[in-house]
Amino acid sequence: MATDPEFEFTALDAIRQSGIVIASDGAEYLKIKEFNPIDATSNPSLVSHALSKPEYAHIFTDAVHYACSTLPTASLNEQTDLAMDKLLVQVGAEILNIIPGRVSVSVDPRLGYDYHAILTKAKSLTSLFNSLSPPIPPSRFLIKIPATYPGILAAHTLESLPSSPIHTNLTLVFGQVQAVACAQAGVSVVSPFVGRVKDWCDARARLGLDDVGHISDERKKPAIETHPGLNLLRDIRNAYTQLGTKTQIMAAGFRSVDELVEVGRHGSKGGPDLVTLPPELLDGLRRREGVRADSTLSDSISPPWALPTSTIPVYFNPTSPDPDGTLFENALKEEGGIALDKVPEGLEKFSRDARKLEGRVRCALEVLREAEARGKSQMGVGQTSTSDACENGQLDRTTTTLVAKKGLEGIEWVEQTSSLNLNLCAGVQEGVIAVGQCLGQSVKVI
């Protein structure tokens, strides 16, 4: 993708000059170095896609082996959970070898409405970052959590830990209520989804509805200057300025270079602190001639929510949080319901990809566990176990390719390939082949 810039001053340069920090959005870290991002983000969909490619398969392999060796006597579920966490952290660590800033790593999206499970997962991910050599300090990663009320409550708890706070990035933000609640909860970063806000508003416009569900006379597609997703960024900036919050705005989910050019015109004072972009949009910006930011634009903005700080509603009370979030949920309804529509939709998409990746991990672990059991039975009681032999370096390293056709949690796997580097002796190799036959898999041991 690397090319010589066509212009001396590109649209990517313009965004940087406007004071907005560039973050890369993706798990394929080999693609991001050329764009020199400061921060980076990923999500379960991006990680799942990346690890299906040969150049990133070693991360999958290493995570599976790590779970087996770290929890040799644990249940399959426990090993799967650890392997899933490990591969997310390892992707994050690889990205941190490239960028100077922070990487955002997601909790399992299926935990989006479970306060206690989010806390546990965030602490597990943090522990794995700390266990790396050298350890990665908390200042270099953000735990990415859905901006549901349980997610915001969990983020508040994590950011408030007395000894070592865990910093968070609240994602799937679609409206002012979520953004203000996150700031009031003291989260480090919020990620509004610009493109999906526009999608929702365009869909309602086609039905003749305005942003609160009433019949609207304005049914035409809005121009870039009145883009509802970009307007949301400006409204959040205005509210955050009035609140005096330290919470940063990391705009996400852009669909076009034109949207980003408009964001760059207003700069960080009139919009986000950061934008997180996939390589395709970063390259598009690099191929567009840049226009230097107009410093007067951010000062001339007159946001619709220009109210005194005292009148900004409290959606999250940090001194006495509402355990049920009733006020927050009611405010989402009054706002028009965009978050009530789009958050579950986003969680479901991410959850599908998380289940997919989990299925691959579980399948690999099942083969390893069954191979281990068969190897032990062949070696007999009192002889060196497969785990001990692996730790002592006594087993030859081979490569096993699994082509799986297996149903798991309602998902059908068809010709799904994972390359696994397995430490196997001859007896265990035979076990792998037998287990593969039992699972309906074609297994080739090289």
The predicted-structure confidence for 201-237, as pLDDT tens digits, reads as follows 988 887 765 554 544 444 454 477 789 999 999 999 9
Say if residue 152's pLDDT is above 70. Answer: yes
Give the residue among 111, 67, 121, 110 at the shortest CA–CA distance from 366.
67
Q: Predicted confidence band at 397 (pLDDT cuts at 50, 70, 90)?
A: very low
Q: What is this structure's pTM?
A: 0.81
Q: How confident is the model at residue 270 (pLDDT cuts 50, 70, 90)?
A: confident
* pLDDT (mean) for 124-137: 97
pLDDT for 27 equals 95
* pLDDT reported for residue 104: 98
Q: By mean pLDDT, which of 84-93, 109-118, 391-400 is the weakest? A: 391-400
How high does pLDDT run on average in the chain?
81
Residue 437 has pLDDT above 90, yes or no: no
Give the angle subtended at the CA of 163 by the CAs of 159 and 166, to the nearest 5°: 30
Active-site option among 86, 121, 144, 198: 144
User: pLDDT value at position 420?
Assistant: 40
The mean per-residue pLDDT over the stretch 234-258 comes to 95
What's the chain look like in SS3? CCCCCCCCCEHHHHHHHCCCEEEEECCCHHHCHHHCCCEEECCHHHHHHHCCCHHHHHHHHHHHHHHHHHCCCCCHHHHHHHHHHHHHHHHHHHHHCCCCCCEEEECCHHHCCCHHHHHHHHHHHHHHHHHCCCCCCHHHEEEEEECCHHHHHHHHHHHCCCCCCCCEEEEEECCHHHHHHHHHHCCCEEEEEHHHHHHHHHHHHHCCECCCCCECCCCCCCCHHHCHHHHHHHHHHHHHHHHCCCCEEEEECCCCHHHHHHHHHHCHHHCCCEEEECHHHHHHHHCCECCCCCCCHHHHCCCCCCCCHHHCCCCCCCCCCCCCCHHHHHHHHHHCCHHHHHHHHHHHHHHHHHHHHHHHHHHHHHHHHHHHHHHHHHHCCCCCCHHHHHHCCCCCEEEEEEEEEEEECCEEEEEEEEEEEEECCHHHHHHHHHHHHHCCCEEEEC
Q: Is-catalytic flag, 144? A: yes
Confidence check: pLDDT of 406 > 50: no
Comparison of pLDDT for 114 and 3, the residue scoring more: 114
With cut-offs at 50, 70 and 90, classify the pLDDT of residue 22.
very high
Q: pLDDT of 313-362, one tens digit each?
A: 999 999 999 989 999 999 999 999 999 999 999 999 999 999 989 998 99
Going along the chain from its start, the domains and CATH numbers come out as: 20-294+310-359 (3.20.20.70)
- The amino acid at residue 19 is G
Q: What percent of the chain has pLDDT over 90?
A: 63
- Label residue 7 by pLDDT band (50, 70, 90): confident
Confidence band of 377 (pLDDT split at 50, 70, 90)? low
Burial of 1 per CB tally in 10 Å (0-12, 13-18, 19+): exposed
pLDDT at 364 over 90: no
Residues 328/322, Cβ–Cβ less than 8 Å: yes
Question: What are the C-alpha distances in Å from 283 to residues 5, 20, 99, 213, 330?
Answer: 10, 17, 17, 38, 41
CA 96 to the chain's CA centroid:
15
* The pLDDT value given to residue 178: 98
Residue 194 has pLDDT above 50, yes or no: yes
- pLDDT bracket for residue 109 (50, 70, 90): very high
* Banded model confidence at residue 386, pLDDT cuts 50, 70, 90: very low
pLDDT at 310 over 70: no
CA distance 216 to 208: 5
Higher pLDDT, 122 or 163: 122
| 370/386 Cα distance (integer angstroms) | 11
Residue 200 above 50 pLDDT? Answer: yes
Instruction: State phi, psi for 424 to the nearest 5 degrees.
Output: -135, 135
